[in-house]
Structure 1
Amino acid sequence: MRLRAPEPEDLEFLYRCENDTSLWQYGNTLSPFSKYALHQYIGQAEQNIFVSRQLRFMIENKKENSLVGTIDLYDFDPYHNRAGLGILIEKSCQRRGFATQALNLLIEFAFDFLHIHQLYAYIPTENTGSLALFGKLGFAQSGLLKDWNMGLEKYNDIAVYQLINS
């Protein structure tokens, strides 16, 4: 497995993931992305987190030479030296260890290369798989945001998980 920058050939994968309306409740997406907009993003994405305040990696299964998901650092704050962390694994690739491997690689990159002090994740409380995954990797729940995100039919509580680089 490896993490790499988005490439033009990732367009169809990103288009499918970004426009999956069942996933919008986990982020801030409110409308579909066009292929043109995603093509522009890939071509113009600034891969310097200190400039763009975010960084996206594609999660690639090297054995099968296929994409399995995306992982992002977002809302990077260089003064407080923290960043949000989000991950998406395609449904057909879930429960195969890809999320654990990708998170471990990104945590190592964030802490050892970028020298980030703290990573955090907002996780819907009904997403028990993600809660267990982040807990297994050493993240601790530090808060609960009641009715924080509008889900498909109701407001969802969001657990705030943090990992401090010690």
Structure 2
Amino acid sequence: MSDMWTGERIRLRGVEPEDWEGFRDLARNTVDVRNADLVEPPRSDASFRAWTAERAGRTPDSTSYRLVIEVLADGSFAGSVTVGEADRRAGRFKTGIEISRDHRRKGYAAEASELVLTYMFAEQRYNKCEVEIYAFNEPSLALYRKLGFTQEGVLRQHEFFAGAHQDLVLLGLTAAEHWSTHHLPHLA
């Protein structure tokens, strides 16, 4: 059996209610949260259970979804990957990724990103993926550059947190650029 959502080390799957602890743990480190988004006040376990249960009940569509990154070796929660702001007319979408601290530097983020890119380019006919990364987030910038993304611009002093305005780096990858280094999915 061939599953386009399974790589060598991880698989992408839908959110389950039991994933609430993994999402809570992702939100506990201020530096990590700031790298991915904006810092919010602490939330209760009940809030994380409700948030995760609501997402588990959603039917994913091809324009906006969140998937859990699960380690094949032990079934552990390694993080999540999202797709959103998809524009079918223009043929572009955005993606983002969060990896828990104990699962970093193992290739899970790159593998999860490549699975999503293959799905969006080969199955959904999108032409371009865009990411927005804070300029200080060197590990994420390095990841996307390794995946073939090209810097397309910088929104200077775009967000405010940690006492200062921060730059936001815009990167993009076209389907042709992706397929120049990857094989199309097998038909049989």
Work out the number of aligned pairs and report it.
164
CA distance in 1, matches of 2:143, 2:17: 30
Alignment counterpart, residue 97 of structure 2, candidates 41, 66, 87: 87
> How do 1:108-119 residues align onto structure 2 when only pairs under 5 Å count?
108-119=118-129
Asked which structure has the greater CA Rg, the reply is: 2
Gaps of 5+ in 1: none
Deviation at 1:33, TM superposition (A): 4.1
Is the 1:85–1:121 contact (alpha carbons within 8 Å) kept by the matching residues of 2?
A: yes
Identity of matched residues, %: 26
How much has 1:29 moved relative to structure 2?
Answer: 5.2
Q: CA deviation at 1:150?
A: 2.0
- Report what 1:137 is aligned to: 147
Q: Which amino acid aligns with 2:73?
A: K
Partner of residue 20, structure 2:
11
User: Residue 118 of structure 1 contacts residue 164 of structure 1 at CA under 8 Å; is this kept in 2?
Assistant: yes
Q: State the shift of 1:92 in Å.
A: 1.6
- Quote the residue 1:20 is aligned against: 29
2:109 and 2:153 map into 1 onto residues whose CA distance is: 23
SS at match of 2:167: strand
Residue 108 of structure 2 corresponds to residue 98 of structure 1? yes
Greater Cα offset, 145-154 or 18-27: 18-27
Segments of 5+ residues of structure 2 without an aligned counterpart are 1-9, 177-188
Letter in 1 for 2:74: E
Aligned residue number for residue 124 of structure 1? 134
Length-normalised TM-score, structure 2: 0.78
CA distance in 2, matches of 1:38, 1:80: 35
The answer to whether 1:66 aligns with 2:76 is yes
Does residue 49 (structure 1) correspond to residue 61 (structure 2)? The answer is yes
